[in-house]
């Protein structure tokens, strides 16, 4: 049986779906190998953006946007 290949974005999306079904964030974070703080950050982004957490989210882009707004 072949291994199931998954992208990080797909794994995060699955985590948010399972969270929506009532699973505990602590358990999901432990299973995924991430800290609870990171899990909270992903949950917050998911609520705000309405898409998979960190989808095309890059901290370097935030600086570009800030410079464009400042002009």
Tell whether 26 is covered by a domain: yes
Tell whether 64 is covered by a domain: yes
Tell whether 1 is covered by a domain: no
**For the domain that residue 52 is a member of, what is the CATH number?**
1.10.10
Instruction: Give the mean pLDDT of 40-59.
Output: 72
Instruction: Give the mean pLDDT of 43-51.
Output: 83
Rg (CA), the chain: 15
Mean pLDDT of the chain, nearest integer: 76
How many domains does one find in the chain? 1
> What does the pLDDT look like over 8-42, one tens digit per residue?
888 888 899 999 999 999 999 999 899 999 999 99
pTM: predicted TM-score of the whole model, two decimal places: 0.63
Tell whether 12 is covered by a domain: yes
How far apart are the C-alpha atoms of 58 and 70, rounded to whole Å? 19
State the residue range of the domain holding 48: 8-70
Tell whether 51 is covered by a domain: yes
Tell whether 35 is covered by a domain: yes
Which is more confident, 13 or 62? 13
């Amino acid at each position: 049986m072949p291994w199931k290949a998954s992208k990080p974005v797909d794994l995060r999306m699955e985590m948010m779906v399972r969270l929506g079904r009532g699973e505990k964030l602590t358990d999901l974070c432990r299973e995924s190998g991430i800290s609870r703080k990171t899990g909270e950050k992903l949950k917050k982004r998911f609520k705000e953006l309405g898409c998979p957490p960190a989808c095309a989210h890059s901290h370097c882009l935030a600086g570009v946007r800030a410079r464009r707004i400042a002009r």
